């Protein structure tokens, strides 16, 4: 499946603009990680883009999140590596994160949430106003969106060989590169 088709399939299944923006953000982070880690950029990008494909269908049911997505993606003949990574990102399913793509998706999703929360905390609410130090400061400020930000998952970036600082810097750079797409 190519990126254009993947985005069309995602858009058909998601009405919530915020979920689509989150998918684009995670895609950007995954692509940036793939470049850095010398992995398959398209494969990693598609995993990030499609991770939310079942979000509205499962309506918050974490026992089904990822499984329903896998069914949808299998029906679309998506690469099994992507399907596995999407299932493995939900800890409730108990699926081991074996490959770097699985581990990267697991930590990229909450990083996208942290970056969005940081952006919304700024007066102008723009990504280009942020720097990695601000995001790092907010990461360690446990009064900042503490229930919504899964710091433990973000910190698992070490499982793919990245320090927290490098991961934040890479993620922020990825979102700044697509900031126009995220504000549509």
Q: What is the pLDDT of residues 21-55, one digit of tens each?
A: 999 999 999 999 999 999 999 999 999 999 999 99
Q: What is the pLDDT of residues 91-109, one digit of tens each?
A: 889 899 999 999 999 999 9
Q: Is 180 left (phi over 0), alpha (psi -120 to 50) or beta?
A: alpha
Q: In terms of pLDDT, which residue wins out, 25 or 149?
A: 25
Tell me what the mean pLDDT of segment 124-130 comes to: 91
Which domains, ranges and CATH numbers included, belong to the chain?
3-182 (1.10.3210)
pTM, full prediction: 0.95
Q: What is the pLDDT of residues 160-173, one digit of tens each?
A: 999 999 999 999 99
Alpha-carbon span 70 to 67, nearest angstrom = 5
């Amino acid at each position: 499946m190519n990126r254009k088709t993947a985005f069309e399939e995602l858009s058909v299944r998601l009405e919530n603009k915020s979920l689509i923006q989150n998918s684009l953000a995670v895609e950007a982070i995954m692509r940036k990680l793939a470049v850095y880690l010398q992995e398959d950029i398209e494969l990693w990008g598609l995993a990030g883009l499609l991770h939310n494909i079942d979000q509205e269908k499962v309506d918050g049911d974490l026992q089904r999140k990822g499984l329903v997505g896998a069914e949808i993606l299998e029906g679309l003949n998506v690469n099994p590596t992507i399907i596995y990574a999407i299932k493995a990102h939900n800890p409730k399913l108990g699926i081991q994160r074996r490959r770097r793509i699985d581990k990267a998706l697991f930590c990229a999703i909450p990083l996208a949430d942290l970056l969005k929360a940081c952006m919304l905390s700024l007066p102008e609410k723009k990504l280009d106003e942020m720097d990695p130090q601000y995001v790092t400061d907010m990461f360690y400020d446990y009064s900042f969106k503490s229930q919504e930000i899964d710091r433990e998952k973000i910190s698992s970036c070490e499982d793919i060989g990245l320090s927290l600082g490098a991961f934040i810097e890479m993620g922020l750079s990825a979102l700044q590169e697509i900031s126009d797409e995220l504000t549509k």
